[in-house]
Structure 1
Amino acid sequence: MTAMPRLAPLAPPGFLERLASAGLGSLPGTAAEVLVDEVRGLLCPDKLDSDTWAEVVSAAHRVGLRTTSTIMFGSVEEGPAAWAAHLHRLRSLQQRAEAAAASAGSAAGASGGVGFTEFVPLPFVHMEAPVYLQGRARRGPTLAEGVLLHAVARLALHPHVTNIQASWVKMGPGQAARLLAAGCNDMGGSIMNESITRAAGASYGQELPPERMEDVIRTAGRNPRQRTTLYGSPPAAQTARSFGAEPLRPLVTAAPGSGALR
């Protein structure tokens, strides 16, 4: 793969340090797809190679930014070997972040307050995905594969990444709730007008209000608790405001310049 183009005047460490100094508190860990270059060459040849992705994430961790971590599985990779390699890479990155914090004398390193906040397996949604329509990918993972990956992630990443998230957007609320008995402790957020998964053909992603999410979690035999991005407790007033909100209005799309809302 080609080297990452340097569009910013600073390399990632300096750029991220300036962002953190300006108030940035965290980063998404998406675009990881599968951190195996043979897979990335088929799935996303226009994206960063796995070493560069790891370089950027590690730079974020070094300047104190927490990030999520993901895998998008069930598309072009063959068998679980690529998933295992991906999990091993994430574990190593988290161990590196913890070791760096410990050597710097940071209390956050000992308490798990560095590096990745959570791991989110994202099943491939095939229906309208170009790579599937071109006949180069399968129809996403089976339900058994989805349960397996979430459960193995809990074991493989322990005790370094302690939060495993079930994506209700990808799997639907009911199936995501089943994963709460297979190693997951997180259902993600309410989401408003999620577009990537729905564009690929999924029917979920518009909104899951807190009331509905708590019902799903309780049905699975778990006790719901709202959290912040960094897995702290939000202010009570903020939690209260999240309940009883008006439903989202239908999303209206129109041609540019038409004056309609988008």
Structure 2
Amino acid sequence: DSFDRSMEEILEKCRDAVSRGATEVCIQGGIHPAKDHRHYQEILLTIKREFPDLHIHAYSPEEIDWGHRKSGMTLADYLVWLRDAGLGTIPGTAAEILDDEVRKVLSPNKIRRDRWIEIITTAHRVGFRTTATLMYGHLEEPRHVAEHLLLLREIQKQTGGFTEFVPLGFIHELNRLYQKMDARPGSTMAEDLRLVAVARLALRPWITSVQVSWVKMGPKLAQMGLLGGANDFGGTLMEESISRESGSSHGENLPAEEIRRLVREVGRIPVERDTSYRILRRFDDPSLDPQSLEPATHRDLHGPERWRGERAPHEPPRVGAR
């Protein structure tokens, strides 16, 4: 199902997040056929008017491609235009596997490999930092994973713009790619841990942070990832609809005190960072930890009942997940 959110609904979620100590809001969505580049600018300006200090991490390369093509600007100018409106950093999602033969089956309606590279490297060139991702456990072969990692390393050598690498296991349970195509039912535990370890070796010293996704792996397996090459447990989150809609059952919110406990259980010292990996606080002594905040409320997680199932004329259904 598809849905749209009003600006007031977006602000409501920002208010809820800020009241619970959030320093960043992450915004990603599908491609709305009736919206253009001005819609993306309006979201940024609306948030920044009320929350000038809130970091906005937003818009996948897929969304940037759509807005750029609607804007009539050069890609560099369009990215600077978004930055001037308040965009802070960009998620390096929509990458899936950066091999067009796989992408033609996995995500036939998404941007191709070279366009993803163009958007990411241009973003780095005009001053943006981005994440780097890889989705595995579906149609790929080991060589596709290796080529993807080596490509990310080469980009980082040239630009230095990636903040971290985030391997994302395919969530298959409710995903049409698994239900309708010959995709694997996600990754195994061994694959999850092996990819974390291989990424640490393959990307060093260029990308120094490897993040585990507790919302996809589960907290216990994410702990094991910290012992096998990862150094980042990810965020507390408050609403994570992508994994949930695909069938993940690990939740959408993990309080900071629970993350600190999980990190300490495996002999590590928890450290709070910001989006750009500046260290905000170290938590060497558990007795000095800040007071707990209550978990985020779960309001309207599926979106309002409007714009459901509508597509642009002649647009085929989109397959795959980000």
1:245 maps to which of 266, 283, 293: 293
Q: Would you say how many aligned residue pairs link Structure 1 and Structure 2?
A: 234
Residue 226 in structure 1 maps to residue 272 in structure 2: yes
Q: Is 1:48 matched with 2:121?
A: no
Distance 1:254 1:197 in 2: 15
Question: Given the alignment of the two structures, is residue 92 of structure 1 paired with residue 137 of structure 2, yes or no?
Answer: no
CA RMSD, aligned part only?
2.0
Take 2:147 and 2:235, find their aligned partners in 1: how far apart are those partners? Answer: 28
Q: How does 1:150-169 map to 2 (within 5 A)?
A: 150-169=196-215
Secondary structure at 1:16's aligned position in 2?
helix
| Number of the residue aligned with 2:102 | 39
CA–CA distance in structure 1, aligned partners of residues 104 and 125 of structure 2: 28
Alignment match, 2:136: 73
Kindly tell me: are residues 229 and 254 of structure 1, through their superposed partners in 2, closer, same or farther at Cα, counting changes over 3 Å? Answer: closer
TM-score by length of 2: 0.69
Q: Deviations over 1:139-183 (max 9, x none)?
A: 111111111111011111100000000000100111001001111
Mean CA deviation greater in 157-166 or 13-22: 13-22
Unaligned runs of 5+ in 1: 98-113, 258-262
Deviation of 1:22 after TM superposition, in Å, equals: 4.1
For the structure 1 residues 71 and 224, does the alpha-carbon distance in structure 2 shift closer, same or farther, using more than 3 Å as the test? same
Q: Distance in 2 between matches of 1:129 and 1:85?
A: 25
Bigger relative contact order, structure 1 or 2 (CA pairs below 8 A, ≥6 apart): 2
Relative to structure 1, is the Cα distance of residues 232 and 42 closer, same or farther in structure 2, using a 3 angstrom cutoff?
same
Conserved 8 A contact 1:125-1:197: yes
TM-score of the aligned structures, taking structure 1 as reference length: 0.84
Give 1:18 deviation, angstroms.
Answer: 2.4
2:239/2:298 contact within 8 Å kept: no
5+ residue gaps, structure 2 = 1-64, 283-287, 307-322
Write the deviation string for residues 11-58 of structure 1: whole angstroms up to 9, x where unpaired: 321111222344432111111101011111110011110100000000
Superimposed CA distance per residue, residues 179-198 of structure 1 (whole angstroms, 9 cap, x where no aligned partner): 01111000110011210101
